[in-house]
Amino acid sequence: MRPAPPVLSILIVNWNTKDLLRACLSSIQRHPPSVKFEVIVIDNHSSDGSVAMVSEQFPRVTLIDLPTNTGYARGNNHGFEEARGEYILTLNPDTEFVDASLDRAVRIMEENPHAGVLGAKQIGVKGDIQRSIRGFPTVAGIFGDVTGLGRLFPRSNLGSYRLTGFDYSKQQEAPQPMGTFLLFRRKALTDEGNARAPFDEEFPIFFNEVDLLYRLKSKGWPCLYCPDVHVLHHGGASTKQVRKNMIWESHRSLVRFLRKHMLTQWNLPAMLGVWGIIYLAAFVRARGWSRGFRAK
């Protein structure tokens, strides 16, 4: 008789963050969920000994050792293909659990069957609540964000991207939490199209989760934010290693998202102007041009 599948699958895509990954996996061991679960680490060809560390110190973890750095989206898709859980958590390796949040996350999803995804409260290493919820990108919202008008008019469409007024103490629907912790319902992923490879690999590093959340929302599967589920987040450990490239890739991916979901024949002139502003912002932030990341 085949054993029952796990209720929860935890996917962690890693690239050269061995020490943080060790801390993350150790925190799951200290605060495991009461339901049956599995942990899958997808290593994107690290050179810091991450693979050996997982193999030696966490033998119960399923390890997918990729021969090249495929990027975050494709790495997660490898994990989704392996995952068997009813709920699938994509978790960054620069996170730690300090309490029973994994249990609470599963319980809240069971209590809210309309929700396709669950986002968590993210807490910085100094105890600060990170502003981790944004709206979906729109022409007006991005224009307001880049120009600063969104901060002046936060309740208008110009302020719809940063969501500076979001109440992090209240359980509520949230358009797009940061991808640090996202708990997906398999049924929602199946309904959207493909639970074994849900991330669009045209977004290799950034906006892949935004794209997926947008598609799920369009199918009637909104994302729920819960302040009682929290995770310690060190922040951007992999992308900091190639910061200039990541700035360019993040801005390029934003343009891809707008082109994929927001472009119409009626807003093309405005969209072209916003794209120009986005690329100018990338040039300024990166202090020059860079090819950015490209999955191979």
In a domain, 295, yes or no: no
Q: Are residues 144 and 208 in the same domain?
A: no
Q: Are residues 123 and 188 in the same domain?
A: yes
277 versus 240: which is more confidently predicted? 277
Q: Are residues 106 and 121 in the same domain?
A: yes
Q: Are residues 246 and 207 in the same domain?
A: no
In a domain, 205, yes or no: yes
In a domain, 293, yes or no: no
87 phi, psi to nearest 5 deg: -120, 140
- Number of domains composing the chain: 3
With beta carbons less than 8 A apart as the criterion, state whether 28 and 39 touch. Answer: yes
Q: Return the DSSP state at 238.
A: T
In a domain, 296, yes or no: no
Q: Are residues 255 and 206 in the same domain?
A: no
In a domain, 291, yes or no: no
CB-based contacts of 118: which residues, under 8 Å, 6+ apart?
105, 108, 109, 182, 183, 223, 224, 225, 226, 229
What percent of the chain stands above pLDDT 90? 73
Q: Are residues 282 and 173 in the same domain?
A: no
Q: Are residues 257 and 196 in the same domain?
A: no
* CATH of residue 208: 3.90.550.10
State the residue range of the domain holding 87.
Answer: 8-131+166-237
Q: Are residues 194 and 275 in the same domain?
A: no
CB-based contacts of 169: which residues, under 8 Å, 6+ apart?
227
Q: Are residues 32 and 176 in the same domain?
A: yes
Q: Are residues 60 and 140 in the same domain?
A: no
In a domain, 1, yes or no: no
State the pLDDT at residue 135: 96
State the pLDDT at residue 289: 56
pLDDT digits (tens, 9 = 90+) for 175-209: 999 999 999 999 999 999 899 999 999 999 999 99
Q: Are residues 43 and 106 in the same domain?
A: yes
Rg from Cα positions in the chain:
19
pLDDT digits (tens, 9 = 90+) for 33-67: 999 999 999 999 999 999 999 999 999 999 999 99
The pTM for the full model equals 0.92
Q: Are residues 100 and 77 in the same domain?
A: yes
